[in-house]
């Protein structure tokens, strides 16, 4: 996924010669879900990683690292996503789809990547803000998705069912 909002991402403008991006510091992620009558769930995670393989940037987080400030809800989240079998959420975007701002500037953009969750990979559009100073860039990305598209069944607990549409985000810093 994943300074933060799940899962995303990075940069490169056609005017730059390709240079590898390396993560600086710890990335973070968040997710927001809604239920009936104004019910909201907010989760956060640390240990978000961003890896540049030369063709794409992959932003990942371990589902076990998500904390909703409710131990039972955390347990349900891990069960519903089958986190033992499918432990990670990863958003991968090709470098060619990403833009970087000029030094000292901020850029807001949209791109499409592929999100892998619950053993399924789907295309996902995401928005990101990139701010660069020198060789370091701060990335804050968000994506909207429907967990049903990834084969995740939403449970009802005490008569409350969370809507399947959620917003995920990731924040991280990269250096070229």
Which positions ≥6 away from 169 have C-beta within 8 Å?
1, 2, 4, 5, 6, 7, 8, 29, 30, 31, 140, 141, 142, 143
**pLDDT surpasses 90 at 144:** yes
CA distances from 135 to 22, 47, 102, 113, 131 (A): 10, 22, 11, 24, 11
pLDDT-derived band at 49, boundaries 50, 70, 90? very high
- Prediction pTM value: 0.85
Q: What is the mean pLDDT of residues 4-20?
A: 37
Q: Which position has the token pair 């991968």?
A: 92
Structure confidence by residue, pLDDT tens digits, 86-98: 999 999 999 999 9
pLDDT of 20 above 80: yes
Is pLDDT larger for residue 10 or for residue 131? Answer: 131
Fold of 22-175: Lipocalin (2.40.128)
Residues 36, 30: Cα–Cα separation, whole Å = 21
Could you tell me the residue ranges of all domains in the chain? 22-175
Alpha helical stretches, state H, the chain: 71-80
Q: How far apart are CA 64 and CA 128, in angstroms?
A: 25
Provide the CB-side half-sphere exposure for 3 (13 A, CA): 9
Distance of alpha carbon 130 from alpha carbon 115, whole angstroms: 20
């Amino acid at each position: 996924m994943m300074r933060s909002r799940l899962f995303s991402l990075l940069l490169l403008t056609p005017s730059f010669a390709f240079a590898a991006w390396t993560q600086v510091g710890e990335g973070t992620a968040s997710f927001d879900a809604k239920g009936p009558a104004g019910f909201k769930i907010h989760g956060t995670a640390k240990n978000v990683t961003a890896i540049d393989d030369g063709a794409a940037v992959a932003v990942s987080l371990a589902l076990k690292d998500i904390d909703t400030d409710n131990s039972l809800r955390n347990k349900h989240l891990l069960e519903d996503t089958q986190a033992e079998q499918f432990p990670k959420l990863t958003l991968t975007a090709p470098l060619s789809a990403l833009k970087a701002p000029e030094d000292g500037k901020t850029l807001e953009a949209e791109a499409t990547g592929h999100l892998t969750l619950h053993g399924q990979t789907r295309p996902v559009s995401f928005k990101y803000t990139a701010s660069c100073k020198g060789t370091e860039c701060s990335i804050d990305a968000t994506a909207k998705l429907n967990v049903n598209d990834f084969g995740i069944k939403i449970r009802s607990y005490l008569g409350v069912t969370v809507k399947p549409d959620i917003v995920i985000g990731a924040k991280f810093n990269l250096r070229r």
